[in-house]
Structure 1
Amino acid sequence: MHPPTPSRALLLCALAALGGKAVAEESSKTTTTSTPVVTPCVATATTGAGAFFDLRPDTAVVVPEGEKPPKGSPVDDYVARGWDYGSNFTLNFCSPVVKEVEDVVGLDKDLWKNVSAYYETKGKVYALGLSDGNLVPRGRKLVLQYSGGSPCGVSDEKSKEKRWEVHDGATYKYHEYDDDESEDSESRRASKDKDEDDEDEDRKDKDKEKEKEKLKTQRRKSATFSFLCDRDPDTPTAASFVGTDPDECAYFFEVRSMHACSIAEPHKPGSVGPGSVFAIIFFIAVLVYVVGGIFYQRTVAHARGWRQLPNYSLWAGIWSFIVDLFTILTSSCGRLIPRGRGYHTLSGSPSGRRHSRDAENRLIDQLDEEWDD
């Protein structure tokens, strides 16, 4: 089998380069068209130096029975004191609360397991929002928002208290008047015909549908968390209540954590790492060296055959150098092998020594001439 000629080698190099370019274009197309994977509780700033934030160590996790809790991860919900609000807040970051909640006001039963912040008052549970892991960097702060909680406004108990409060000197009270009116209305309803009853049922059904539509479009409670960097490792992550609007619809909290400080972004799977970058640069350098050397040797030095390769004499002498090195190593190792005891033949004649030295000199001269060629 004959080695390929230099023209064929150039053709193969060109085909390999074109094939590599096509593969790179296809890979770039697939990477650009694929949907990006968003990691909850992780964010990278789009401005400045592109700071990286990871709040996953601050997320409280649920530990199954019989298993050990993960090292460094909290297992209990965070509690923010409400101070003058009258209720404390139970919350978690980027995940639902660890403690199971039930009978959440204004939420379907299927959504109870997704509540990430809530408070209790007079035996009722009000949600501040559902779980969301979308962090938004804004300058030195991180912002996390929950939405879709209980309907906005004060609770029904508070509204009833305000509505039924009447001083003792009044001639009548609203609830007594309503009771009398309800008795009269019940007697009137009993005397109505079946047609009127059907109309009432239809009216009730329409009212229920209107209430459902109203609940869908009704404003709901939300919570906004502002994370601040605290580099003290001895200070645990703590959340504090800032305030709410008059409608009790938007709640604001401030959280101090060491994990809210920017860190170095880890290597993402599928992206080009330092080793891959070095390999690409090395491959390009070798390709430029080979193609550029062949072009120079062919056009400037007018070399033909294998001598078109750059530094042909160096690469051609590498094989002989490896053979000589192997011979030297084997002979050196052979001297270390112990030989059998006994007498050895000694050359006592000086003429024999002279002939052996001449032969060695001729061999050395021959090797020097071959090396120069």
Structure 2
Amino acid sequence: MRVWHFTETAYPYLPPEEDFESIRITLPNRYFDPVKGAELYNRYLDEWLIAEDEGLDIIVNEHHQTATCIDPAAPLILSALARQSTKARLLILGNPLANRKNPVRVAEEMAMIDVLSHGRLEVGFVRGVPYEVLPANSNPARMNERMWEAIDLINEAFTRHDGPFSFEGDFFHFRNVNIWPRPYQQPTPPIWVSSTSPGGARKIGTYGYRLATFLTGFDGTRKVYDSYREGWRSAGLGDDIPTDRLSYSGMVYTADTEEEAYAGAEKLLWYVTSNKVPAHLANPPGYVPTAANLQIMRGAEHPLKAFQQQPSVEKAIEKGIMFAGTPDQVYNQIKRMYDYVGGFGNFLMMGQAGFLEHDETVAGIQKFAREVYPRLQADFPGTRISGY
């Protein structure tokens, strides 16, 4: 099992929640203090590099026009890390392709980072969250189709080396594609795609790409993984699914005592409790399939919605979205998730969020890396699960 240090690079210094309608998209940027922002950027970069020193790999993401993530250009952050780091794998998860007008530019950026890092890049693609349809000036309908067409174009750009080719799709049209540089890793860097739904996971499985799912808990993750496995087998990729194709992301805080760990974990909950967004931004017309919208109208809720109303560390652990406690407790919590969902080869560890300070973040990273990670590596060293 590989573990990756993850932070959404939040800017938590905001007015009281009742003073603004939404933390995303419409929150005035007068609340952003550039001096504090500069300190945060340098702090987050330092923490990624400390995680590397402790043997963890690195994951970055991006969001737009939001205080929940002040990294609107993940390739820029990743390029800095590609030069500053020396050994960690570098995962971007990811490029929101359905909101990108030029996938060829994405291919160029990823190839450049792969070369700069001497082949340590892992390329991740996402559809893009619904909140950001408006600032991207995108059409929320057919976003999945646009994303998959963009992935096909980027993959072709990575692998064609005999001069220019043209690409004519339903959404993208390019007369001359011939990226320089080409990737360091051949034929391509590892490709990841995220999904929290069984339908999306099944399609990812048919391609054989790596799947990442976030905060889907015990039952949600098992459904997502089972659908991925169905897609993998339906595409004739074999009966055994390599566990390195499956990834799970959860919040993590490890300390010497349960009391210390829960205090850190309480601060991590900011990630799920601060996401105040009005319905018209959270569900733009066309983003969610009709059947899913019908379920919402009939009263179905996102699994995290009820939790957000009465959040607690204990409930988060019970749901499988938080792993917190002493090293033994955290190890057993992750093992329980691993066994319940049938195994996964990558754990995307959100070890920083909200008001968790630098020294607290570093202490959590080091305690996990030194006392939990070696056990995970020893007990889950393989990449395949036979017969599942």
Please, what TM-score do these two structures have when normalized by structure 1? Answer: 0.20
Structure label with greater radius of gyration: 1
